[in-house]
Structures are given as C-alpha cells and as structure tokens.
Amino acid sequence: MKKKYPFGGKKLDFHINIKKKSFTNPHDKTSIDVLKNINIQIKSKEFVCIVGPSGCGKTTLMNIIGGLIDVEDQKFNKEKRDLKFNGDFGYVFQTSRLLPWLTVKENIELVCEDNDEYIERIEFLLSEFDLHEFKNYYPKSISGGMRRKVSLARALIKKPQILLMDEPFVSLDQPTAESLYSVLINYYEKNPITIILITHNLKEAILLGDRIIFFSKRPASVVYDHKIKAKIEGLSIDNTEIQNEYDQLQKKFPSLLKGLV
C-alpha cells in the first residue's frame, strides 16, 4: 500500500497541526506523550532549524513530516496533494547509513529506480561534492565527513522539493562541519528548496537557517519561533554576528535551550 504525504499550497508552503503524538510500550502498555499541540507553518524554500532538549520529540516530528511514521490526530491545510517520499522528500539522518558493501557511487544509485536516468545527475553531484575521484571507494575507505557528503548526495539525487536533515553534522569537528555547511549552502543557493534541519547547536542554526523553532521538553510543543536577524559573511561558526545574536537570545531567554522561555 502506497503511503500518502499530505502537503498543500502551490509553492509548497505547508502547515502541520498535531494535537498529540504518543508511543505505547508493548511490554507494560504504558503510554508516553511525545508531541503536543504542534502548529507550524513552513514557507516554500525556507531554511528552518528546529532546536530543543534531547529526547523532546524533534526526530518524531521530522519522521511525521517525511511520512515515515503516522500520527493519529493531525490536520494539514486544505489544499492537498500527495508527495512520494522517495521523490519529493530527501532525508539525511544522524548517521550516514551507507551500505558498507557498496561503493560511494553505488550507495547514491541505490535510491534510483532506473540508474540510466540518473547517470548525468550522479556524475554532477559527485563532482559538485568533490567525491568523483572516490566514487569507486567503499565507505570504510573514506573519512566520516566524506561519508556525510555521500549521504547528502543520495538525499538530493532525485531533486527533492523538501530536504529533511536530522542532526547531519553531529559529532564532526568544526573544520569538517564547516566544509559540509559550504557544500549544503552552495547547493541550496543554486537549487533553492525547503530545508528542515534538526540541531542541538544554536550557533549552527543561526549560521544556516532563516528561522529557528524552539521546542519544549517532552511532550514537545513550540515555545518560541525566532526569525534570524544576523547578516553573515562566510560559513564559519566563529563569527561576531552569530555570537551577538546567540548572546541576545540567551540574555532574553536564559533557559531557551532547555525548552523554557
């Protein structure tokens, strides 16, 4: 049975309203509320970052948006059309999720039903992400940062209209993370799409996003919706404008990163 992904608006603006999402423990039948009263509007081609305490439900929301899990009590805006997860959505997870027995190129080809149709596109992304000379290498033979590049290329190979990113830069050192910021933003500027990024790094969110949605502790709800003001040159975390906006947010809401305002 084909899943349906309700999504509305001519420019792919969308509005998701979730009254509640719970998970039930199959062993003792206890229920845990993960999301509560989520009401979010995301504009077409907007870069939105979601920040909140660990375990609050950010990934659950991402999986609902991407159609990976269902939610019982949800409403989307009235103008609906169905999107295919493998075509209209791209997903970059916390780990690269590359198959170790496939080469770099084969891992990207994996999501393409007809590889012949994507030959030029694969070659383009390999070159764009500086992976071409490593296309016949296996994941264990390349660095962690390069594996993340392959994961990003695989998510973008089918030209998705919405890119979902669940902490894709976590555990990377700063130079490696910043090199990946450059890869992502260079692509985004040439091919504007809607991006939703989960991160625990507030400075990263200020650097990359147009807007930050802050979540509370579980069950998560939106506690603050912040439009980023900083005008930033370059893609380095060590930036005065980023630090100033970070300090202003911390001063105004000292417990914001703990899910409180």
pLDDT at 86 over 60: no
Kindly report, residue by residue over 168-192, the tens digit of the pLDDT.
Answer: 999 899 999 999 999 999 999 999 9
| pLDDT band at residue 222 using 50, 70 and 90 as cut-offs | very high
- The predicted model scores a pTM of 0.87
Closest C-alpha to 14, from 61, 56, 57, 54: 61
Instruction: Sketch the domain layout of the chain as residue ranges.
Output: 1-76+164-169+194-261
Q: Which residues are CB-neighbours of 247 under 8 A, at least 6 positions away?
A: none
- CATH topology assigned to domain 1-76+164-169+194-261: Rossmann fold (3.40.50)
Contact of 109 with 115, CB cutoff 8 Å: yes
Per-residue pLDDT tens over the stretch 107-166: 999 988 776 778 899 999 999 999 999 999 999 999 999 999 999 999 999 999 899 999
* Sign of the alpha-carbon torsion through 113, 118, 123, 126: negative
Distance CA(49)–CA(242), nearest Å, equals 15
Residue with tokens 């290329």, as numbered in its chain: 153
Work out the pLDDT band at 71, boundaries 50, 70, 90.
low
Predicted confidence at residue 139, as pLDDT, reads 96
Number of helical (H) and strand (E) elements in the chain, helices listed first: 8, 11
**What pLDDT is recorded for position 87?**
47
